Amino acid sequence: MNKTYKLIFIGLISINFLSISAADFESNVAISSDYIWRGWTQSNEDPSISGGFDISGENGLYFGTWAASVTGGTELDYYFGYSNETEDGFGYDIGYIGYTYPQHDSALGLDLDFEEIYLGLSYSFVGLIYSAGQDDAEDNLELSFSIGDTGLAATFGQYDNIGDYYSITYDLPMELAGLAISLGYSDLSVDGDSSLDEDGFFITFSM
């Protein structure tokens, strides 16, 4: 995204937030046996700790940040957008997200940062999200289903010029010391090089 447009967009959102009389603040923290993103392990199959916070207003605007431990450092994301739902239960969400990797940039001299603009649509137990990569980043399309309120869900994704992936998760109907528990399996098929394919099980404790 052009930096000038981005600053204008952020400024408009900030002005709107200043006019919000009541805003909701939410935070989250989790530990997972493996941090898997779009089918790829981000922590070299080691445990990862993550957490973040969101602020949302009654007008549908929101912004937040999220961080997780990854191989060789930390991933730090920031995002903002607008979401709402019609009286018929049709939901939509449009926003911007930036993925940054501070340690990699400074210690290794690598620029792994990238940005996406996303559009999400949902109805009942079905969701669809299209993420348009900015500059040289690839686009991603993801479709998700949940089976009622059973806690069982499936996600299917197509990452342009990278590969196809899917995951199946199950939220256990129990807690452990106040932590929610989720079990999952993920599988990634990389375009043109099956040696890079990945799959595996993971467990996540979150609050």
3-state secondary structure (DSSP) of residue 148: coil
pLDDT the model gives residue 104? 76
pLDDT the model gives residue 5? 53
Domains of the chain with CATH codes: 3-147 (2.40.160)
Q: Give Cα 109 distance to the centre of its chain.
A: 25
pLDDT in tens for each of the 207 residues of the chain? Answer: 555 555 555 555 555 554 555 689 999 999 999 999 999 999 999 999 999 999 998 889 999 999 999 998 999 999 999 999 999 999 999 999 999 998 875 555 668 899 999 999 999 999 999 999 999 999 999 999 999 999 999 999 999 999 999 999 999 999 999 999 999 999 999 999 999 999 999 999 999
Return d(Cα 72, Cα 49) in angstroms, integer: 14
Give me the amino acid identity at 106.
S
**Do strands 40-41 and 48-57 pair parallel, antiparallel, or not at all (unpaired)?**
unpaired
3-state secondary structure (DSSP) of residue 138: coil
Q: Is the pTM of this model over 0.85?
A: yes
Surface-to-core class of residue 31, CB atoms within 10 Å of its CB (0-12 exposed, 13-18 middle, 19+ buried): middle
pLDDT the model gives residue 3? 53
Surface-to-core class of residue 35, CB atoms within 10 Å of its CB (0-12 exposed, 13-18 middle, 19+ buried): buried
Around 192, how many Cα atoms within 13 Å sit in the side-chain half-sphere? 3
Return d(Cα 126, Cα 162) in angstroms, integer: 24
